[in-house]
């Protein structure tokens, strides 16, 4: 049986059927499967491994709390992917299309979120005749360098509204700000902003926010929130170590290599990680500058994109087609996936890249958690209670799982 490189080998995560299942036309039989059979981003397998292994590197003062909760932190490593079925705000947190911003090292791209939003948000107003006009942004650059006053306005009125559906702005404060800066005296009837960051992903910026939230949770010794944030952060840091999470060609769709996303981050770890990878990564390190730390990981991932794609392309040309894709079983369902031997050849040709990135992810996750704990003043964790989930929280979790199983992903539907 021959399969072309474009054949998807897993179940389409946005639906309940195989997107293009070669097996439907012959043997083996193609069965329908729910989205839960599919393993997104790093695969559920790798995300859970990364969180579990990160816990095992922690110092005794943290281990006393994390070890009894290791199953929870590992099991919930995949929640951020499940949430992509519940809210449109979730998807952009998993990736950043760096190629949208020029060439490495993307120096013109602001490293902190407020600065990035300042650069990639437009402000619109509705004037007294009722016309909607651009006040700043796009074709109409700001009349002054973003000075302190502008930054203050922005971080007070625009940054907090980033993840609101409603993007309207308070006209009085906007008008006052514009008047004070001698820019405009229009009596705006309404105002709102639009931003273009979400479209290309916000992963390294979102991690900065998570690091602050986690530090605060440690400070307050809020055990439930600590676990919640650690599990989520493990996921996003894991994603930041995957080269294809840093490019708009995330599934090889621009180069005729559809399916490569899952090949690299799901299929290879599932086949080889537990058998072959050295999971010993040493103790976590304290990170002085977490903003740089998160950017370094996505920039390193991005520098590997070319190899991920070119090595696979060359192998697809040199290895006979009938040795590339094979039928396999997953949860009782037949899937078509890259053959084990083919995956092994790809892994070797990448010179152990998948293992290196997984190890780096484990170490980075532990280091981010450890840094938050140190920055919070190394609070005692041993005697914290772990409150039982409230009814509301249980319902939220049920709902998240229900939407995930229904399989309708919101936002960018593909492999992120």
Contact segment (CB under 5 A) with Zn ion among 205-213, 232-240, 314-322, 374-382 equals 232-240
Contact segment (CB under 5 A) with Zn ion among 94-102, 220-228, 345-353, 387-395 equals 94-102
130: how many CB neighbours lie within 10 A of its CB?
8
Q: Among residues 78 and 208, whose Cβ is nearest to Zn ion?
A: 78
* Distance in Å, CB of 76 to Zn ion, minimum: 13
* Distance in Å, CB of 80 to Zn ion, minimum: 6
Q: Based on the number of CB atoms within 10 Å of its own CB, is 187 exposed (0-12), middle (13-18) or buried (19 or more)?
A: exposed
CA gap 150, 146 in Å, rounded: 6
Q: Among residues 46 and 227, whose Cβ is nearest to Zn ion?
A: 46
Contact segment (CB under 5 A) with Zn ion among 2-10, 92-100, 155-163, 177-185 equals 92-100
* Distance in Å, CB of 41 to Zn ion, minimum: 4
CA gap 3, 340 in Å, rounded: 15
Q: Among residues 203 and 273, whose Cβ is nearest to Zn ion?
A: 203
Single out the residue of 232, 239, 258, 375 in contact with Zn ion (rule: CB under 5 A).
Answer: 239
Q: Among residues 92 and 327, whose Cβ is nearest to Zn ion?
A: 92
Residue 83 binds to Zn ion (criterion: CB under 5 A): no
329: how many CB neighbours lie within 10 A of its CB?
10
Contact segment (CB under 5 A) with Zn ion among 64-72, 88-96, 328-336, 397-405 equals 88-96
Contact segment (CB under 5 A) with Zn ion among 90-98, 146-154, 217-225, 402-410 equals 90-98
Q: Among residues 117 and 237, whose Cβ is nearest to Zn ion?
A: 237
Single out the residue of 12, 48, 49, 94 in contact with Zn ion (rule: CB under 5 A).
Answer: 94
User: Residues 362, 317: contact at Cβ < 8 Å?
Assistant: no
* Distance in Å, CB of 259 to Zn ion, minimum: 17
Q: Among residues 237 and 372, whose Cβ is nearest to Zn ion?
A: 237
Q: Among residues 77 and 217, whose Cβ is nearest to Zn ion?
A: 77
* Distance in Å, CB of 94 to Zn ion, minimum: 4
Contact segment (CB under 5 A) with Zn ion among 16-24, 31-39, 166-174, 237-245 equals 237-245
Closest CA to 344 of 355, 334, 335: 355
* Distance in Å, CB of 410 to Zn ion, minimum: 14
Of residues 8 through 47, those in contact with Zn ion by CB under 5 A are 41
Contact segment (CB under 5 A) with Zn ion among 50-58, 78-86, 174-182, 368-376 equals 78-86
Q: Among residues 97 and 375, whose Cβ is nearest to Zn ion?
A: 97
* Distance in Å, CB of 206 to Zn ion, minimum: 11
Closest CA to 379 of 60, 68, 62: 62
User: Residues 35, 413: contact at Cβ < 8 Å?
Assistant: no
Contact segment (CB under 5 A) with Zn ion among 91-99, 306-314, 319-327, 360-368 equals 91-99
CA gap 96, 205 in Å, rounded: 10
Number of chain positions touching Zn ion (CB under 5 A): 4
* Distance in Å, CB of 150 to Zn ion, minimum: 34
* Distance in Å, CB of 122 to Zn ion, minimum: 28
Q: Among residues 46 and 135, whose Cβ is nearest to Zn ion?
A: 46
Q: What are phi and psi of 154, to 5 degrees?
A: -60, -50
Phi-psi region of 27 (alpha: psi -120 to 50; beta: other; left: phi over 0): beta
* Distance in Å, CB of 245 to Zn ion, minimum: 7
Q: Among residues 154 and 236, whose Cβ is nearest to Zn ion?
A: 236
User: Which residues lie near Zn ion (CB under 5 A)?
Assistant: 41, 81, 94, 239
């Amino acid at each position: 049986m021959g399969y072309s490189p474009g054949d998807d080998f897993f179940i389409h995560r946005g639906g309940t059927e195989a997107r293009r299942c070669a097996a439907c036309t012959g043997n083996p039989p193609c069965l329908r499967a729910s989205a839960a059979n599919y393993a997104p981003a790093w695969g559920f397998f790798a995300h859970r491994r990364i969180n579990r292994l990160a816990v095992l590197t922690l110092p005794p003062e943290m281990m006393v709390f994390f070890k009894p909760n290791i199953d929870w932190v590992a099991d919930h490593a995949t929640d951020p992917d499940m949430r992509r079925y519940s809210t449109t705000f979730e998807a952009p947190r998993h990736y950043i299309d760096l190629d949208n911003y020029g060439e490495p090292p993307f120096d013109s791209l602001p490293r902190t979120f407020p600065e990035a939003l300042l650069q990639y948000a437009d402000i619109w107003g509705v004037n007294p005749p009722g016309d909607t006009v651009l006040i700043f942004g796009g074709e109409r650059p700001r009349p002054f360098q973003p000075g302190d006053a502008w930054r203050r306005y922005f971080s007070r009125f625009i940054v907090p509204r980033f993840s609101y559906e409603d993007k309207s702005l308070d006209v009085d404060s906007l008008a006052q700000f514009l008047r004070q800066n001698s820019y405009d005296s229009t009596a705006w009837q309404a105002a709102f902003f639009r931003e273009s960051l979400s479209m290309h992903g916000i992963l390294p910026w979102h991690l900065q926010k998570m690091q602050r939230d986690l530090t605060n949770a440690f400070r307050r010794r809020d055990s439930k929130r600590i676990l919640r944030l650690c599990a989520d952060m493990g996921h996003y840091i894991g994603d930041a170590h995957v080269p294809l999470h840093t490019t708009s060609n995330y599934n090889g769709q621009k180069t005729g290599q559809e399916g490569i996303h899952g090949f690299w981050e799901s299929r290879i770890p599932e086949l080889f990680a537990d058998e072959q990878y050295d999971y010993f990564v040493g103790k976590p390190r304290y990170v002085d500058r977490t903003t740089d730390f998160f950017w370094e990981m996505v920039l390193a991932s991005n520098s590997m994109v070319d190899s991920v794609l070119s090595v696979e392309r060359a192998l697809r040309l040199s290895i006979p087609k009938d040795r590339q894709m094979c039928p396999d079983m997953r949860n009782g369902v037949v899937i078509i996936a890259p053959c084990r031997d083919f995956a092994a050849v790809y892994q070797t040709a990448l010179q152990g890249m998948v293992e290196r990135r997984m190890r780096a992810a484990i170490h980075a996750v532990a280091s981010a958690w450890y840094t938050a704990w140190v920055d919070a003043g190394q609070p005692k964790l041993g005697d914290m209670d772990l409150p039982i989930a409230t009814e509301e929280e249980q319902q939220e979790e049920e709902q998240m799982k229900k939407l995930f199983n229904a399989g309708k992903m919101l936002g960018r539907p593909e492999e992120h």
